[in-house]
Structure 1
Amino acid sequence: MNIKEILERNPVIPAIKNKENLAEAINSNSEIIFVIMSNLINIDEIVSELKEKGKIVFVHIDMVEGLSNSSYGIEYLINRTKFDGIITTKHNIVSFANRNKIPVIQRFFILDSFSFKNTMLHIRENRPNAVEILPGVMPKIIKRICNLVNVPVITGGLIDDKEDIINALTAGAEGVSTTKIELWTM
């Protein structure tokens, strides 16, 4: 799976946070969907419905309610679902995913110069397949990150309108994830 190529075709990524968003995501033109909120009871059903429609599914495993943030949690999901990759903020989970050849997007929150510096360090150490930078409304920071890393950069968080998406993509991001359904058709 080449995340960079997928993002070239699908720069706006539907991020679903509830069952109501599922039908919209299934009917979207996007090949890739981020499942950012789920639980142990519904995750298999959500992933199955998306996969039946040919979607590439990344599950934010930190946000699967009831799941432990350990390698056992990922193994459980591997055995229960047919996701294509994971999203996580946890460094140990990125390492586990890499060892097991599971595509992984590592999510970072950039709050200040300290978190920026640590983000760069963790990207070099962890070697995720892609990174997601939050909040996604920081074009200057997005541009700096894109110039410093050699993995696809996705942004998300606080994406409210078309202008936010254009600013992020213009700054160098290859994708923008959003829960705003009205932006999924851009």
Structure 2
Amino acid sequence: MKQQALYEQIRTHRKIASVKYTKHLEKALESDVSGVFLLTGNIGVIKRYVDLFLSRERFVFLHVEKIGGLQVDREGLEFIASYVKPTGIISTKSSTIKQAKKLGLRTIQRVFLVDTDALQHGVEMCNTVQPDAIELMPGIIPTMVEKVRTLTDIPIIMGGLISTAEEMRKPLEHGAIAVSTGNPDLWEVNLHGGI
């Protein structure tokens, strides 16, 4: 999927189902989301999950550190790129992002905002590696979107600790392109009203 097409698909619903449990796969398929971040599964089932979402025209990013039985090294990423064939991967590790990009996968760098040093290091890392998007966590500090946007032009997705519709809307008002949430009840929230 080309980068611009990915951003357009993300902007369709502006929310992403972060699927942490297999029991939520069906709910994510039926939900009004642009795509999914898969944080569940193992090497024996992950291709089937990816194919299922892709067949429904949803993008699929695998959080590679969360897939059971997958070694996150060059061979593991080659397996993902050549056999599983998701839209892309999510990782907290810049070396993984760099290797995935070489294999033609779209990438999302997950950055945890625990203090100003983590913010500075995360932005420097992203500006060096140039992932397709940054997922800032936790998503309940929407004003950080504006700060990070002054430091990089990489699109921002907010996720983590989001538990209400209002917490989903705030990051979008501050410039995020989408929000991700693992709460299935929020996958049906209409985010286009007033934004």
**Where on the TM-score scale, by shorter chain, does this alignment land: which range?**
over 0.9
What SS does structure 2 have at the residue aligned with 1:155? strand
Bigger drift between 130-139 and 61-70 goes to 61-70
* The one of 21, 25, 28 aligned to 1:22: 25
What SS does structure 1 have at the residue aligned with 2:18? strand
State the match for 1:159 in structure 2: 162
Deviation readout 1:41-98 (Å, 9 max, x if unpaired): 2211211221222221111111111211212111112233131111111111111122
Cα distance in 2 between the residues matched to 1:164 and 1:123: 25
State the match for 1:133 in structure 2: 136
Give yes or no for the alignment of 1:175 onto 2:178.
Answer: yes
Contact persistence 2:40–2:66 (CA under 8 A): yes
Cα distance in 2 between the residues matched to 1:160 and 1:41: 32
Instruction: Output the TM-score relative to the length of structure 2.
Output: 0.90
**CA root-mean-square deviation:** 1.3
Cα distance in 2 between the residues matched to 1:108 and 1:38: 22
Evaluate the alpha carbon distance shift between residue 12 and residue 31 of structure 1 in structure 2; reply closer, same or farther with a 3 A threshold: closer
Query: Partner amino acid for 1:153?
Result: I
Deviation readout 1:20-54 (Å, 9 max, x if unpaired): 11101111232311112221222112112212222
Bigger drift between 34-43 and 107-116 goes to 34-43
Query: Partner amino acid for 1:29?
Result: D
* The one of 85, 90, 107 aligned to 1:87: 90
Where in structure 1 do 4 or more consecutive aligned residues deviate above 3 Å? none
Contact persistence 2:10–2:34 (CA under 8 A): no
Give yes or no for the alignment of 1:10 onto 2:47.
Answer: no
Gaps of 5+ in 2: 190-195
State the match for 1:52 in structure 2: 55
What SS does structure 2 have at the residue aligned with 1:105? strand
What SS does structure 2 have at the residue aligned with 1:39? coil
Give yes or no for the alignment of 1:77 onto 2:80.
Answer: yes
**CA drift at 1:167:** 1.2
Paired-residue identity, %: 27
